[in-house]
Amino acid sequence: MPQTRLHLVFDDYLRRTGTISNKDYTIVHDWMGSFNQERGRRIYANINVEEVKEWIVKKSGSTDEAELTDFLRVALGHLFLDLLSYNFVFESEYEFMKKAAEGYIDRGYANCNVNLLLC
């Protein structure tokens, strides 16, 4: 699993691209640790976005759509970084983050919204 620092670096990428608001999302990374524990730390090739949405809504207690959408996008980034680090070896952090950004966009996670059925 990537270090928490890399999750936070990826959050910065999401902020710079306007994918999420300029806030601190450390709590979401804490939630995702619990999410992984409840799932027995299994890493799946396909991230179940609906399952993550339900988890985020339950954990946050928020009803604000924009905030929940940001939480969802951060959570998907967290899980995607975990997936990449578990299944692949990269020559450098730069290559890892580059592939993470490309994969995140390719999977449509940047367009996910907590109130939409699909991303």
Q: pLDDT averaged over the chain? A: 87
Q: What pLDDT is stored for residue 81 in this prediction? A: 93
Could you give the percent of the chain with pLDDT greater than 70?
87
pLDDT in tens, 44-96: 667 889 989 998 999 998 899 999 999 999 999 999 998 888 877 888 989 99
When comparing pLDDT for 88 and 111, which is higher? Answer: 111
User: SS3 for 49?
Assistant: helix
Cα–Cα distance for residue pair 33/79, rounded to 1 Å: 10
CB 76 within 8 A of CB 109: yes
Locate the domains of the chain by residue range: 4-111
For residues 24 and 14, the answer to whether their CB atoms sit within 8 Å is no
For residue 34, what pLDDT is reported?
Answer: 80
User: If DSSP states are collapsed to H, E and C, what string results for 53-103?
Assistant: HHHHHHHHCCCCHHHHHHHHHHHHHHHHHHHHHHHCCCCCHHHHHHHHHHH
